[in-house]
């Protein structure tokens, strides 16, 4: 404040000095000095007054500043206290935030697990709804329902959330289907017969497995189409024995019947199964020569079996009788006994040996060997032919395989491999002829082997009995000499 007053007085003093210097030229210096003293006194008084006012103003400002400082210090203390409380509150909030964050994570995990379980449950419900819908649509009993079951498709829709009402409805439907599975329904329903005509037929539905129809004495199985909820008669009728069983069951005369537990799969196989004649037709022209060979082979086998059975003979008993009579030198009795069994090869060989009993041992053995050789050709007749037929049949089958593959490659050359049905004819011919060739060759070769064994056995018996006869005759010659 003092510095301010001094700054203000300096200009005034300068002016006064300037004025005094100016007036000195015009007036008397005493007057000037006197006036200057008065001015100076007035200025000093004014300055003192302004100084006093400034000091008072400074004191007020100092007191106001001190007052405001106290208030500020008090306010700072209060703010510091509030800040401490806020820090404590913030710390508590941070602790609470950490706790809430942890709880939020736990709740999120629980919620995620719950969502996963819920999604799995909903997925299982939808899958079961689709399975039950498929089960109902394929159930033969569905044809008897008036209204279609559409709510299962809504439950199984991925855009629809199945509620408890849907779950209860699903369970009730499942139990209803379980009950219908054990039902046997008999009614008159429109079916499509084997000629493609729609007619009313007496039907018997056996749960979800199969259905049977009867039209004017024709009894057969039905195929159910879930798309149109329509029954179709199978194109092929079952065997007569099965038809009789089905008719008896429909008339309540029997408690059992043949049933397709595969829900139509076995009946489809029955419809598409081919008879032996149909398979032979697929084999082409070479299949018939193979079957002709088989027929000739079977005739040869039958003829040979009959021949071998007819030449079978109780040679042991026969030789015992010959031995007893020969040792007693009753040769005529031996020849008569042989004459009664000349239709047997063993008896004819022994008869030839008896007629050459006067010869020596070596010549007699030659006679017996000649008689045995004479009997061998009738026994081995047609056996070589049978072996030839057994060897030709697989070769014909191989020929049919080659021709079938040639036809297949020709079709591929013309039409490519886009349509397998075009190639099926050649492949069928190749496979069927191979099957027929092997099917004919295997039993014929087995039969030839067995027949050869039987013939060899008969030849061995003749050789054995011939040697036995030579020994008997030789003993009969020695006995009289000893006597």
Is residue 426 one of the residues assigned to a domain? yes
Residue 443 — very low, low, confident or very high, per pLDDT cuts 50/70/90?
Answer: very high
- Give the whole-number percent of the chain exceeding pLDDT 90: 9
Checking if the pLDDT of 442 tops 90, the result is yes
Domain residue limits at 379: 287-482
Q: 238, 273, 308: which is the final residue of a domain?
A: 273
Contacts of 97 (CB under 8 A, 6+ apart): none
Task: Please indicate whether residue 98 or residue 26 has the higher confidence score (pLDDT).
Answer: 98
Per the listing, tokens 């008969």 go with 458
Domain count, the chain: 3
Q: Each residue of 395-438: pLDDT tens digit?
A: 998 888 888 888 777 777 777 766 666 666 677 777 888 888 89
- Verify that 167 and 71 share a domain, yes or no: yes
Q: Each residue of 182-241: pLDDT tens digit?
A: 777 788 888 888 777 888 888 888 777 778 888 877 888 887 776 667 787 877 777 788
Is residue 281 one of the residues assigned to a domain? no
| pLDDT, average across residues 313-320 | 82
Checking if the pLDDT of 311 tops 80, the result is yes
Cα 77 to the center of its chain, rounded Å: 84
Q: Each residue of 84-139: pLDDT tens digit?
A: 888 888 988 988 898 998 888 889 888 888 878 877 877 777 777 777 777 777 67
- Verify that 312 and 423 share a domain, yes or no: yes
User: pLDDT at position 276, please?
Assistant: 62
Is residue 278 one of the residues assigned to a domain? no
Is residue 310 one of the residues assigned to a domain? yes
- Verify that 451 and 326 share a domain, yes or no: yes
Checking if the pLDDT of 374 tops 80, the result is yes
- Verify that 15 and 29 share a domain, yes or no: yes
Checking if the pLDDT of 451 tops 90, the result is yes
Checking if the pLDDT of 2 tops 70, the result is no
- Verify that 20 and 159 share a domain, yes or no: yes
- Grouping H, G, I as helix, E, B as strand and the rest as coil, residue 184 is strand
DSSP summary character for residue 191:
E
- Verify that 148 and 191 share a domain, yes or no: no
DSSP letters for 207-243: TTTEEEEEETTEEEEEEEETTTTEEEE-SS---HHHH
- Grouping H, G, I as helix, E, B as strand and the rest as coil, residue 440 is helix
Is residue 306 one of the residues assigned to a domain? yes
What is the average pLDDT value for the chain, to the nearest integer?
Answer: 79
- Verify that 368 and 469 share a domain, yes or no: yes
Q: 181, 212, 236: which is the final residue of a domain?
A: 181
Residue 464 half-sphere exposure, CB side, CA atoms within 13 Å?
A: 10
- Verify that 338 and 363 share a domain, yes or no: yes
Q: Each residue of 71-86: pLDDT tens digit?
A: 888 888 888 888 888 8
Is residue 21 one of the residues assigned to a domain? yes
- Cβ atoms of 476 and 329 closer than 8 Å: yes
H helix or E strand, kind and range, residue 179: helix 164-181
- Verify that 139 and 254 share a domain, yes or no: no
| pLDDT, average across residues 264-284 | 67
Nearest to 271 by CA among 310, 229, 237: 237
Residue 1 — very low, low, confident or very high, per pLDDT cuts 50/70/90?
Answer: very low
- Verify that 84 and 230 share a domain, yes or no: no
Region at 220 (left for phi over 0; alpha for psi -120 to 50; beta for the rest):
beta
Q: How distant, in Å, are the alpha carbons of 52, 57, 282, 408, 421 from that of 427?
A: 136, 129, 9, 7, 10
Is residue 280 one of the residues assigned to a domain? no
Task: Please indicate whether residue 235 or residue 394 has the higher confidence score (pLDDT).
Answer: 394
Taking the C-alpha atoms of residue 52 and residue 424, their distance in angstroms, rounded to an integer, is: 134
Q: 273, 307, 325: which is the final residue of a domain?
A: 273
Nearest to 462 by CA among 334, 336, 346, 306: 346
Contacts of 478 (CB under 8 A, 6+ apart): none
Is residue 279 one of the residues assigned to a domain? no
- Verify that 125 and 265 share a domain, yes or no: no
- Verify that 25 and 79 share a domain, yes or no: yes
């Amino acid at each position: 404040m003092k510095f301010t007053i001094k700054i203000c007085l300096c200009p005034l003093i300068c002016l006064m000095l300037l004025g005094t210097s100016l007036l000195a030229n015009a007036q008397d210096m005493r007057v000037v000095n006197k006036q200057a003293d008065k001015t100076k006194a007035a200025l000093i008084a004014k300055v003192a007054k302004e100084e006093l006012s400034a000091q008072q103003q400074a004191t007020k400002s100092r007191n106001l500043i001190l007052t405001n400082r106290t208030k500020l210090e008090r306010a700072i203390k209060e703010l510091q206290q509030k800040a401490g409380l806020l820090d404590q509150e913030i710390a508590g909030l941070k602790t609470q935030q950490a706790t809430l964050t942890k709880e939020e994570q736990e709740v999120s995990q629980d919620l995620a697990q719950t969502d996963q379980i819920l999604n799995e449950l909903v997925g299982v419900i939808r899958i079961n709804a689709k399975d039950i819908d498929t089960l109902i649509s394929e159930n033969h009993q569905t044809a008897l329902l008036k209204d279609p079951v559409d709510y299962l498709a809504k439950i199984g829709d991925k855009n629809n959330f199945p509620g408890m009402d849907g779950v209860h409805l699903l369970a009730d439907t499942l139990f209803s289907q379980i009950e219908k599975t054990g039902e046997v329904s008999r009614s008159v329903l429109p079916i499509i017969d084997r000629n493609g005509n729609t007619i009313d037929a007496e039907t018997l539905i056996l749960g979800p497995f199969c259905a049977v129809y009867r039209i004017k004495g024709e009894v057969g199985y039905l195929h159910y189409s879930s798309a149109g909820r329509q029954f179709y008669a199978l194109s092929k009728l079952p065997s007569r024995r099965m038809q009789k069983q089905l008719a008896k069951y429909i008339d309540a005369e029997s408690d059992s019947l043949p049933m397709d537990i595969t829900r139509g799969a076995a009946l489809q196989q029955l419809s598409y199964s081919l008879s032996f004649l149909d398979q032979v037709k697929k084999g082409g022209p070479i299949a018939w020569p193979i079957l002709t060979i088989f027929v000739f082979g079977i005739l040869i086998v039958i003829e040979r079996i009959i021949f071998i059975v007819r030449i079978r003979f109780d040679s042991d008993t026969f030789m015992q009788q010959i031995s007893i009579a020969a040792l007693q030198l009753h040769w005529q009795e031996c020849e008569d006994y042989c004459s009664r069994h000349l239709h047997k090869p063993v008896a004819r060989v022994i008869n030839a040996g008896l007629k050459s009993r006067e010869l020596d041992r070596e010549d007699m053995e030659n006679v017996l060997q000649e008689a045995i050789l004479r009997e061998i050709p009738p026994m081995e007749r047609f056996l070589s032919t049978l072996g030839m037929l057994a060897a030709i049949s697989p070769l014909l089958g191989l020929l049919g395989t080659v021709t079938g593959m040639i036809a297949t490659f020709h079709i591929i050359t013309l039409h490519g491999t886009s349509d397998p049905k075009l190639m099926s004819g050649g492949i069928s011919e190749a496979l069927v002829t191979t099957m027929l060739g092997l099917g004919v060759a295997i039993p014929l070769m087995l039969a030839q082997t067995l027949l050869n064994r039987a013939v060899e056995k008969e030849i061995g018996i003749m050789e054995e009995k011939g040697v036995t006869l030579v020994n008997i005759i030789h003993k009969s010659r020695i006995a009289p000499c000893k006597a």
